[in-house]
Every structure is written in C-alpha cells, then in structure tokens.
Amino acid sequence: METVTLSSKFQLVLPRGARERLRLRPGMRITVLDKGGVIFLVPERPLRTYRGIARGVSAKGLREKKDRL
C-alpha cells in the first residue's frame, strides 16, 4: 500500500506504480467518490472500453428488487 500527502493547495501526487498499473496519463479525468468516509478515485474511461463487459450474462433467474428477500 502506498501513502500520499495532501499539499497546502489540496493536491495529491499519485505514486508512479499506481499510475503505471492504471495506465493513467496527464489530462485524464478522475471521478472522486466519498462513501462512508472513504475516498475512491475512479478514472473515467471511454464507453468503448466497456464494450462486451456483460457478454454471456443471462437474465434467467433474476428477480425484481421488490421480490428479493
């Protein structure tokens, strides 16, 4: 796990290892989510990146949310 420090201008520098693993480039947009006191940084990707992500998924056996226990 890598640690970063928040600057006086409220900026973070992402460690090189994380940038390389996530293939982050200068100018990329990142969404910041706050859930229960935890901050998530999610890189925005083009929609074509997600093409085929649900291939092979069947709707059989799925229920409406109101019918779940």
Q: What is the pLDDT along the chain (69 residues), one digit of tens a residue?
A: 789 999 999 999 999 999 999 889 999 999 999 999 999 999 988 888 878 888 877 777 777 777 666
48 — alpha (psi -120 to 50), left (phi > 0) or beta? Answer: alpha
pLDDT value, residue 69: 64
pLDDT at 7: 96
Q: Where are the domains of the chain?
A: 13-46
CA distance 45 to 22: 11
- Give the pLDDT score at 68: 67
In whole angstroms, what is the distance from residue 69 CA to residue 67 CA? 7
CA 20 and chain centroid, separation: 15
